[in-house]
Amino acid sequence: MRGAAAVTFVLALACAAAPAAAQPRDVKPTADTARATDKSSLGIRSVTGTVKKTTESGVVVAGREKGSKDRDWAFVLDGGTRIDSGGQVRGVSDLRQGDPVTVTYTNRDGKIVAQSATVNPR
């Protein structure tokens, strides 16, 4: 009798624990998973306009995406950002106010990160 009661008790515990084990665990996003999510939801996009302001870590462009109105865009520049002018790779310090540019970007961690900036002929 004790054996049957013990087996019944163990089975009852197992049945009660099974739904709890099947619950999804809270997964906190890391920088890598957030980037993957941001890239898949937004993809690579581009803005064409003119340079309004530059800093060591960013550039502000007055311009538009295809099919939208003009506005100011604040892009973050990182180590992977490529700046091209006249077929040559340049630094952010080579960008001047008023330069016509096309900037390709992605949304990463809630920031608009420039992938490349191409200075267009005037």
42-47: average pLDDT:
88
Query: How would residue 1 be classed by pLDDT, with cut points 50, 70 and 90?
Result: low
Question: Residue 122 — pLDDT band, cuts 50, 70, 90?
Answer: confident
Residues 82-112 pLDDT 10s: 999 989 999 888 999 999 999 999 999 899 9
pLDDT at 52: 97
Q: How confident is the model at residue 43 (pLDDT cuts 50, 70, 90)?
A: confident
Pick the CATH number of 34-119 from 3.30.70.260, 3.40.50.300, 2.40.50.320, 2.60.120.10: 2.40.50.320
Residue 74 has pLDDT above 90, yes or no: yes
Is-contact 106 42, C-beta < 8 A?
Answer: yes
- Mean pLDDT in residue range 39-57: 84
User: For the residues of 97-114, what is the DSSP string, one character each?
Assistant: TT-EEEEEEEEETTEEEE
CA dist., res. 105 & res. 118, Å (int): 12
Q: Is pLDDT of 29 > 90?
A: no
Domain segments of the chain as ranges: 2-28, 34-119
For residue 41, give the amino acid letter: S
Phi and psi (nearest 5°) for 26?
-70, 115
User: Which residue did the predictor score with more confidence, 30 or 87?
Assistant: 87
